[in-house]
Amino acid sequence: MGDVIGLRGRYEALIERAQEGVGTEVDEPRARDIEIEVADVIVGKCEFAGKSLEELGKAFGFGLNLQAMFRSGNEMPHLPETIVEVGDVLRLAGSRFWVEHAAEKLNSTPIVESTLTETFYLALSLIIGYVVGKLSVTMGGIPFALGTSAGCMLTGIMFSYLRTRNPAFGGPMSEGARSFVQDIGLSVFVAVLASSVGPKILASFQGTVVIKIAALGLIAALVPPFLAWLYGMFRKMNPVILAGACAGGRNSTPAMKGISDQAQSDMPAIGYPVPCALTSMIVLILGYIAMVIS
């Protein structure tokens, strides 16, 4: 008796509830001026990993609104029956107390926009990848080296694997910062590759070589992803993620973006990174082997 309860929600719901005789509406600013915080919470190893969003909501979702859900850096559609896995990122909005309470339940720490992005592990990964890529071994009189790009891909896969085992490793990093680093890194990589390889390709387009390159290019571009698609469908893989994996196997970012546009989802990007990294290294290694054999 005499307590003041602050209610938030749709006007029609508030009006309907007020008519049920809970009490008299009063002007109390302290009940309305509640600081709302938006934070990203990484799902750690806890009892709620592997459960649905509906179960999480019933357990500790009071006072919270789920604005977005990310997996492997890509936004996912979130429905009540969506299963939450270790490493997923939940973007929660609510009072600071309930956001921190949810993060504690998920064995995590809330990441707000004001949180400084942890770049130590990112820099360490790049340094190790650069050093590994520069290491050279002579085989058959031909120096063999992975190169800085393949070296960074290797360490990226290793650090990503470690982070899937422990989401706190390599973090915290906000989704905005991660997305920016990914996009600008990909754009610079494509630009440098085009500027360095483009002139050599144009110089080789002479005589019948053009026809041979076109024929081999069509075969190499169409047959492997088609066989990969058939194998994936045989294994009953998700067709959207499978299409992204096929695009990654061809190192075709435009194809992945096109698939995402058609699916109206970022889900294809989940299957893209690992095939892209693996095929890049395989092509590099087989290229050196072909040089040795020839």
DSSP bridge partners of 39: 92
pLDDT given for residue 115 in this prediction: 44
* Measured distance CA(74)–CA(86) in Å, rounded: 15
Q: Show the tokens assigned to 62.
A: 């009071």
Superfamily of domain 11-105: Regulator of K+ conductance, C-terminal domain (3.30.70.1450)
C-alpha radius of gyration, the chain, whole number: 26
Contact (Cβ atoms closer than 8 angstroms) between residue 84 and residue 55: no
Asked if residues 65 and 90 have their Cβ atoms less than 8 Å apart, the reply is no
Question: What residues are paired with 202 via a beta bridge?
Answer: none
Residue 18 has pLDDT above 70, yes or no: no
User: 155-183: per-residue pLDDT in tens?
Assistant: 877 877 776 666 556 555 665 666 677 67
**Amino acid letter, 173:** M
Residue 232: pLDDT over 70:
yes
Cβ 224 vs Cβ 250: under 8 Å: yes
With b for 16 or more beta-carbon neighbours within 10 A and e for fewer, the 57-81 pattern comes to eeebbebbebebbbbbbbbbebeee
* Share above pLDDT 70 across residues of the chain, in percent, rounded to a whole number: 81
Chain segment 35-53, per-residue pLDDT in tens: 778 888 888 888 888 899 9
- Regarding beta strands 136-139 and 74-76, do their DSSP bridges make them parallel or antiparallel, or are they unpaired? unpaired
The residue with tokens 């890194």 is: 185
pTM for the whole structure? 0.47
Burial 170-198 (b: 16+ CB within 10 A, else e): bbbbbbebbeeeeeeeeeeeeeeeeeeee
Measured CA to CA in angstroms, residue 188 lies from 14, 156, 173 at distances of 52, 17, 21
Cα–Cα distance, 198 to 192 (Å, whole number): 10
Token pair 């706190």: residue? 168
- What's the pLDDT at 165? 62
Q: Tell me, what's the pLDDT at 207? A: 67
In this structure, of 56-60, 169-173, 183-187, the range with the lowest mean pLDDT score is 169-173
**Could you tell me the residue ranges of all domains in the chain?**
11-105, 120-293
